């Protein structure tokens, strides 16, 4: 099963953390640990990381040591990281990350890191349409999109418009000249993870 | 959401605008103080609560600790507005963990949402349970979740969520879910039209089936069928194609599920499965340029190879797979290399011979130096699995060389594996000692205590090895720096066996002492105490260095460490006793060999693999390791025999009853309606027990018996019928082979969906029966489907196979009935003259090769014995009725030969003597096999007896 889904940017700032088995230590330290492990890996290395170092962080008790693996994928400024046990197919998880990204892309029309920040509830909602309780719920992008929309329609009429408004209203603030440091700069690049481009370099 | 919550947007923007962390914290503290105050003041409307809770969530996501808002979140859940409810649920799933006290407060709201007519509310509730489900929730809500899963009115997206929610509850609290009883109903959903539902249910079935293999056995057939439809027939909705691959997740899941079951015996399923696997492997022959497409293909391929290995390591498919794997492990794609090595380790762990893999040994050893640590780990596992007697020296040598440059994270595991391999495949003891000591000196820090304990154990138990070991360890100790583990081994071995080499030049007692004692100062206290023990042993065997040794004891009498001090004092006292004292000698007696025991090393390694949730289907290590593992797994698997444990006693009881009622002298063989001795069992055993073993409860009523009895002596007819379904049989037998056509008709105007037909043969070594192809999963309204069953009789048997048919027509229904496949079906006629008949009749003789019984018969309307029917029954059982043998025309005399593929042909003679006045009939069957005589007697008597329902 999938033990955790983490999204953080290339500076290690978490954008989404979702645990399906409660972590031993704080989520923060875990993200830092994983970040330090994978940020040093070059793009040509594989997308899997055996994580004996992480076992103490994730396992409920140390002696039932199910072997955990970290499967991750890097899209522009974001790392999508899944912590899974040996029952999951590694490549299947890679595909699943792709589905998650494509779903986000549909929901936000050219998703970028900012969307994940401002619409954290919706990101969680989309994730919950794909994974539930650590298992794959749905893999069909259309279905995920529909489920998102149908609950949205009961929420309010023009969700997309609202989203754009909020994006516009937040933009001047976030991209203002005063923003310095890694936490600000990383956000300025929209991800441009259009589905078509994913097959290129960004998909590694 | 954002438009309606300006405050939240502002808050987020402020935080993002904060230039340094301190400003961010300040802003958050201010906001939290405000929220705390607002919550305390109370009187907030839904919108305000939602806004503040959202802010709390955001703060939490940023990684701050939050301690407010739980109560408000609980309140929001019971709101009637979706947006508020949703934020409430989000807060509950994010902020609370499963043991949180607040969860008690939401159980009722969740139940309400589960029962709501609004599917979206259902989903929110299900999702919450799936995330934070506590024991209390599991007990209270499991039924509701199950209902949502199986209800025909549930929408697909609700059922998907319900399936996974149920799975989560099962994982956490297996006892709240009657897994075995729900088995058939849950498995039937695997036939759903919606692939999304199928994926989720497959996940659920996978978890449940691991614990209830037999109860969920039907899923094997379902999985094979679904794979065939996806892979071979390309039958799926286009939206479930992921980069042109039909739902890779589902395929992977199904292929994995099949690996939890022992390879199927059913030839039909096997063929279909091989076809599927072959197609999957062929699909990957031409790699496409699209990364995602390749990924998906490979995901399936690797799982398919895993299954192929599981099914039969000698099949041609595995050969194909080996070729593919060889290509993969030298692929340019790191991911593919990684998985190639992983899968090859699986193959190595299961294969009978490793030649095919050894051909690539060079590549694999090179992979130990891959630039990616993940790949290096896999290569290590593979080398460990593929090591055997022939290549152990090479592999271990390679591993040892690599150990010196390996990553720190890898070393401990490597050391353990090297130690195990060395012990397991040691050709010579010399090599063993050399390797282990080199290991100790090369990777001292990473050597667990088990490793050196084991060395000591083996050296102590192997006398030939002792002088050599002592010499080698002495050489190692001479090097300027040696690791503490090595000093420990050295101390022990030299102490015990140092005297064996003391006469060789260069190994004199004083030299031994100097070398060992020079290490002492760098060692920890426990090692030093071990050395002290060595010295006292030497006092016993090397009197020439006693002064030096006593000197050491003397000095140690004043150290601070308690253990050391005590030892030193005791040893000092012991050493300074008079020379003729025997105490020292007795104390320093040679250590006796250790009792043989299992290597602690393997235990340690295996502990790392012990499973909690989804079980692995294999472990690293050679074939034996896997065999051993599977046998321990199998021991807990219940067998059919367990259920029937009470079998033998039952027929006897009923025999007693019949005999006391009728006052007839009956032979000891059971008679009457309970002929297939198991009927009683299947009916009387508790439902849950039967469900657990995956045995269907037999459908019983008088009609079923009547139909069955008729079919015993006729080839065609109705086997079962009710308002919905009709099952008819046409059969043909030739020798020991038979063919049954089962016609299953849907009598109602709606389709029977999720249709499943399975066969259960209890005496598998005596009778084989299997479907020619997998039954379709649906029967259209008012149509009929035909299924062919192939039967082969190998030995005498007494339990006809059970056909169990289940389908969905409104509710889920299961019909389980015995098929009229009995021994007499395999009898062929034989013509005998009067003389021949009686000659054989006498030759066979009386009991035990004769079975006889007297039973009541019904007379026909005219008050005569119904000879026509009797003849029909006898002839229908394929005996040839012999005319003119018996002088009494009402008596029937018949002969036949029973054909069996393993036990050969067995002749059968019978005689039926009805008595009109007494309304009784005597049946006598003689056969060269006593089992058969009794069985045939029962079978012929059954339809004729007046007790039989007609």
Q: Are strands A78-85 and A68-75 parallel, antiparallel or unpaired?
A: antiparallel
Are B547 and B509 within 8 A, CB to CB? no
CA A170 to centroid of chain Cα atoms: 21
CA–CA gap between residue B658 and residue B670 (Å, rounded) = 10
Choose among B58, B168, B612: nearest Cβ to A120: B58
Note whether residue B88 is domain-resident. Answer: no
What does the alpha-carbon distance between residue B447 and residue B528 come to, in Å, rounded to a whole number?
Answer: 18
Residue of B87, B130, B329 to mutate when probing chain A, most A C-beta within 10 A: B130
Chain segment B803-826, per-residue pLDDT in tens: 888 888 777 888 888 888 888 888
β-partners of residue A123 are: none
Q: How is residue A185 written in tokens?
A: 């700069």
| B314-328, B540-554, B569-583, B927-941: least confidently modelled range | B569-583
pLDDT at B416: 82
Contact A139 B298 (CB under 8 A): no
Contact A199 B168 (CB under 8 A): no
B42 belongs to a structural domain: no
Q: Are A155 and B82 in contact (CB under 8 A)?
A: yes
Distances (CA, A) of B713 to A143, B823, B826, B936, B943: 56, 11, 12, 12, 8
Domain membership flag for residue B162: no
How many domains are contained in chain B?
3
**For position B480, what pLDDT does the model report?**
77
Q: Cα B342 to chain center, whole Å?
A: 20
pLDDT, tens only, A112-165: 888 888 888 888 888 988 888 888 888 888 888 777 665 555 444 344 444 444
- Range of the structural domain that residue B549 is part of: 425-587
Chain A stretch 3-42, residues whose beta carbon is closer than 8 A to a beta carbon of chain B: 14, 16-17, 20, 22, 27-28, 41
Whether B777 and B713 share a structural domain: yes
Q: How far apart are CA B213 and CA B929, in angstroms?
A: 37
Give yes or no: residues B810 and B686 share one domain: yes
CB contact under 8 A, A135 and B2: no
Q: How far apart are CA B251 and CA B543, in angstroms?
A: 75
Per-residue pLDDT, averaged over B330-351, amounts to 86
Q: Whose CA is closest to B421, among B452, B455, B383, B458?
A: B383
Q: Do B239 and A142 touch (CB under 8 A)?
A: yes
Instruction: Please identify which residue in the block is written with the tokens 């936000």.
Output: A108
List pLDDT tens digits, range A67-97.
Answer: 778 899 988 888 999 988 878 888 889 889 9
Binding residues of B: 6-7, 47, 51-55
Mean of pLDDT values over B98-105 = 79
Tokens representing A40 are 């040093």
Contacts of A92 in chain B (CB under 8 A): 248-249, 252, 299
Please report whether residue B570 resides in a domain: yes
Nearest to A132 among B2, B164, B295 (CB): B164
Whether residue B664 is found in the same domain as residue B566: no
Minimum CA–CA partner of B94 in chain A: A18
Residues of A within 8 A of B372 (CB-CB) are 41, 45-46
Do B806 and B847 have their domain in common?
A: no
Beta-carbon contacts of B453 under 8 Å, excluding residues fewer than 6 positions away, are B600
CA of B421 vs chain A CAs: smallest distance (Å): 22
How many CB pairs (< 8 A) connect A and B? 222
Tell me, yes or no, whether B816 and B831 share the same domain.
no
Same-domain status, B453 and B511: yes
Any CB–CB contact under 8 A between A195 and chain B?
Answer: no
Query: End of a domain among B800, B821, B842?
Result: B821
What are the chain A neighbours of B339 within 8 Å (beta carbons)? 90-91
Q: Rounded to a whole number, what is the distance in Å from the CA of B753 to chain A's nearest CA? A: 23
Tens of pLDDT along B907-944?
888 888 888 888 888 888 888 888 888 888 888 888 88
Clarify whether residues B804 and B853 are in a common domain: no
Q: How many angstroms separate the CA atoms of B167 and B205, rounded?
A: 9
Which of these, B339, B445, B425, lies nearest to B382 by C-alpha position? Answer: B339
Measured between beta carbons, the chain B residues lying within 8 angstroms of A28 are 63
Shortest CB distance from A132 goes to which of B161, B337, B616?
B161
- The last residue of a domain, from among B769, B790, B821: B821
Confidence band of B802 (pLDDT split at 50, 70, 90): confident
CATH number of the domain within which B910 lies: 3.30.310.10
- B858 and B816 share one domain: no
What pLDDT sits at residue B604?
Answer: 60
Q: Sorting pLDDT into bands at 50, 70 and 90, what band is B603?
A: low
Q: Is A160 on the interface with B (CB under 8 A)?
A: no
The pLDDT mean for chain B works out to 80
Span B188-212, average pLDDT: 89
pLDDT at B628: 59
Residues 161-190 of A with CB under 8 A from B: 162-163, 165-166, 169-170, 173-174, 176, 178-181, 184, 187
- Which residues from chain B sit within 8 angstroms of residue A173, using beta carbons? 13, 16-17
For residue A166, which residues of chain B lie inside 8 Å, CB to CB? Answer: 2-3, 9
Q: Which of B237-241, B422-426, B670-674, B859-863 has the lowest mean pLDDT?
A: B670-674
State the DSSP string of A5-27.
Answer: EEEEETT--EEEEEESS--SS-H
Q: Is B545 inside a domain boundary?
A: yes
Residues near B641 by Cβ (< 8 Å), separated by ≥ 6? Answer: none
Domains assigned to chain A: 2-149 (3.30.450.60), 170-198 (no CATH)
Same domain membership, residue B848 and residue B699: no
pLDDT (tens digit per residue) in B423-472: 888 777 788 888 888 888 877 777 777 777 888 888 888 888 888 888 88
Is B693 part of any domain? yes
Q: Say yes or no for a CB contact (<8 Å) between B90 and A124.
A: yes
Q: What is the pLDDT of residue B656?
A: 39
B351 domain-assigned: no
Give the model's pLDDT for residue B948: 56
CATH of the domain at B727: 2.60.40.1230
**pLDDT value at residue B855:** 86
> Do B833 and B792 have their domain in common?
no
Residues B724 and B774 placed together within one structural domain of the fold: yes
**Domain shared by B806 and B887, yes or no:** no
Statement: residue B59 has pLDDT above 70:
yes
- Which two tokens mark B9? 């947007």
Contact: B303, A89; criterion CB under 8 Å = yes
pTM above 0.90, yes or no: no
Please report the pLDDT score of residue B700 as a whole number. 76
- Whether residue B497 lies inside any domain: the answer is yes
3-state secondary structure at position A129:
helix
Mutate to test the interface with A, among B46, B193, B242, B339 (most CBs of A within 10 A): B242
Give chain A's largest Cα–Cα span: 52
Residue at a domain's end among B764, B796, B821: B821
Q: What is the percentage of chain B residues whose pLDDT exceeds 70?
A: 88
Mean of pLDDT values over B5-28: 84
């Amino acid at each position: 099963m999938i033990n955790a889904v983490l999204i953080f940017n290339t500076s290690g700032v978490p954008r989404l953390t979702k645990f399906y088995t409660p972590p031993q230590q704080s989520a923060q330290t875990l993200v830092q640990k994983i970040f330090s492990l994978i940020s040093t890996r070059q793009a040509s290395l594989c997308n899997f990381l055996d994580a004996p170092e992480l076992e103490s962080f994730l396992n409920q008790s140390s002696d039932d040591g199910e072997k955990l693996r970290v499967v991750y994928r890097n899209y522009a400024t974001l790392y999508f990281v899944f912590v899974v046990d040996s029952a999951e197919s590694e490549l299947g998880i890679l595909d699943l990350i792709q589905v998650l990204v494509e779903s986000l892309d549909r929901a936000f029309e050219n998703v970028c890191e900012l969307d994940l920040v401002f619409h954290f509830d919706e990101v969680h909602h989309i994730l919950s349409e794909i994974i539930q309780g650590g298992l794959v719920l749905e893999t069909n992008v259309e279905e995920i999109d529909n489920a998102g929309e149908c609950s949205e329609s009961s929420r309010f009429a023009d969700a997309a418009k609202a989203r754009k408004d909020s994006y516009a209203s937040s933009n001047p603030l976030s991209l203002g000249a005063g923003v310095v440091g890694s936490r600000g700069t990383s956000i300025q690049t929209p991800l441009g993870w259009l589905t078509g481009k994913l097959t290129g370099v960004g998909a590694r | 959401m954002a438009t309606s919550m300006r405050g939240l947007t502002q808050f987020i923007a402020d935080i993002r605008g904060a230039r340094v962390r301190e400003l961010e914290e300040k802003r958050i503290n201010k906001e939290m103080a405000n929220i705390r105050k607002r919550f305390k003041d109370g009187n907030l409307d839904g919108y305000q609560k939602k806004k503040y809770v959202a802010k709390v969530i955001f703060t939490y996501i940023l990684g701050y600790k939050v301690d407010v808002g739980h109560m408000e979140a609980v309140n929001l859940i019971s709101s009637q507005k979706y947006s508020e409810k949703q934020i409430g649920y989000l807060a509950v799933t994010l902020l609370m963990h499963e043991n949180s006290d607040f969860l008690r407060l939401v159980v009722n709201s969740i139940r309400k949402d589960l029962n709501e007519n609004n599917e979206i509310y259902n989903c929110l509730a299900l999702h919450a349970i799936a995330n934070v489900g506590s024991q209390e929730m599991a007990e209270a809500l499991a039924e509701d979740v199950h209902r949502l899963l199986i209800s025909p009115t549930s929408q697909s997206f609700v059922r998907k969520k319900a399936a996974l929610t149920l799975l989560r509850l099962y994982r956490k609290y297996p006892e709240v879910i009657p897994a075995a009883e729900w088995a058939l109903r849950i498995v039937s959903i695997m036939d759903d039209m919606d692939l999304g539902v199928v994926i989720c249910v497959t996940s659920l079935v996978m978890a449940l089936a691991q614990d209830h293999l037999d109860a969920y056995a039907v899923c094997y057939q379902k999985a094979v069928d679904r794979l065939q439809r996806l892979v071979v027939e390309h039958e799926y909705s286009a939206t479930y194609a992921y980069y042109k691959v039909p739902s890779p997740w589902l395929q992977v899941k199904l292929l994995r599920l099949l690996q939890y079951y022992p390879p199927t015996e059913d030839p039909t399923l096997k063929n279909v499965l091989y076809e599927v696997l072959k197609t999957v492997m062929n699909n990957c022959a031409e790699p496409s340029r699209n990364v995602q497409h390749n990924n998906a293909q490979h995901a399936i391929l690797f799982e398919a190879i895993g299954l192929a290995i599981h099914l039969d390591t000698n099949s041609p498919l595995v050969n194909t797979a080996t070729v593919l794997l060889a290509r993969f492990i030298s692929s340019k794609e790191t991911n593919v290399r990684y998985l190639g090595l992983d899968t090859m380790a699986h193959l190595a762990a299961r294969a009978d011979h490793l030649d095919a893999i050894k051909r690539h040994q060079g590549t694999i050893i090179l992979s130990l130096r891959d630039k990616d640590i993940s790949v290096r780990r896999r290569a290590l596992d593979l080398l460990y699995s593929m090591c055997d007697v022939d290549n152990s020296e090479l592999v271990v040598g390679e591993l040892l060389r690599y150990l010196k440059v390996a990553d720190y994270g890898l070393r401990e595991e490597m050391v353990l594996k090297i130690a195990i391999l060395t012990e397991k495949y040691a050709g010579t003891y010399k090599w063993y000692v050399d390797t282990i000591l080199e290991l100790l000196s090369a990777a001292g820090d990473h050597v667990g205590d088990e490793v050196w304990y084991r060395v000591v154990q083996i050296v102590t138990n192997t006398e030939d090895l002792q002088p050599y070991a002592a010499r080698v360890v002495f050489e190692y100790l001479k090097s300027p720096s040696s690791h503490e583990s090595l000093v420990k081994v050295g101390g022990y071995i030299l102490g015990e066996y140092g005297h064996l080499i003391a006469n060789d030049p260069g190994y004199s007692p004083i030299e031994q002492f100097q070398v060992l004692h020079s290490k002492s100062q760098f060692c920890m206290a426990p090692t030093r105490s071990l050395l002290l023990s060595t010295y006292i042993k030497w006092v016993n065997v090397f009197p020439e260095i006693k002064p030096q040794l006593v000197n050491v004891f003397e000095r140690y009498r004043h150290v601070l460490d308690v253990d050391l001090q005590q030892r030193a004092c005791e040893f000092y006292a012991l050493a300074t006793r008079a020379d003729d004292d025997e105490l020292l000698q007795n104390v320093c007696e040679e250590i006796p060999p250790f009792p043989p025991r299992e290597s602690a090393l393997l235990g340690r390694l295996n502990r790392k693999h012990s499973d909690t949730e989804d079980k692995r289907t294999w472990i690293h290590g050679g074939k034996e390791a896997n065999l051993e593992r599977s046998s321990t797994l199998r021991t807990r698997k219940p067998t059919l025999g367990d259920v029937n444990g009470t079998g033998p006693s039952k027929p006897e009881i009923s025999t007693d009853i019949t005999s006391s009622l009728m006052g007839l002298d009956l032979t000891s063989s059971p008679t009457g309606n309970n002929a297939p001795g198991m009927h009683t069992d299947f009916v009387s055993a508790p439902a849950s027990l039967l469900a657990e073993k995956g045995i269907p409860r037999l459908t019983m009523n008088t009609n079923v018996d009547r139909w069955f009895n008729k079919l015993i002596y006729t080839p065609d007819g109705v086997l079962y019928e009710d308002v919905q379904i009709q099952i008819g049989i046409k059969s043909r037998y030739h020798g020991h082979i038979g063919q049954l056509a089962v016609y299953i008709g849907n009598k109602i105007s709606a389709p029977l969906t999720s249709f499943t037909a399975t066969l259960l043969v209890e005496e598998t070594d005596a009778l084989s029966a299997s479907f020619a192809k997998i039954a379709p999963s649906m029967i259209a309204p008012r149509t009929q489907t035909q299924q062919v069953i192939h039967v082969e009789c190998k030995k005498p048997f007494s339990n006809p196979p059970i056909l169990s048919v289940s389908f969905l027509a409104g509710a889920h229904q299961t019909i389980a009935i015995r098929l009229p496949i009995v021994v007499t079906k395999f009898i062929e006629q034989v013509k005998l003259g009067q003389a021949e008949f009686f000659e054989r009749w006498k030759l066979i003789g009386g009991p035990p090769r004769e079975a006889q019984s007297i039973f009541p018969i019904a007379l026909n309307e005219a008050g005569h014995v119904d000879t026509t029917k009797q003849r029909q029954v006898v002839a229908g059982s394929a005996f040839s009725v012999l005319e003119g043998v018996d002088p009494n025309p009402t008596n029937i005399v018949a002969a036949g030969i029973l054909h069996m593929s393993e036990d050969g042909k067995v002749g059968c003679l019978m005689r039926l003597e009805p008595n009109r006045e007494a309304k009784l009939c005597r049946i006598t069957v003689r056969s060269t096999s006593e089992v058969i005589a009794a069985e045939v007697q029962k079978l012929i008597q059954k339809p004729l007896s007046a007790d039989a329902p007609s």
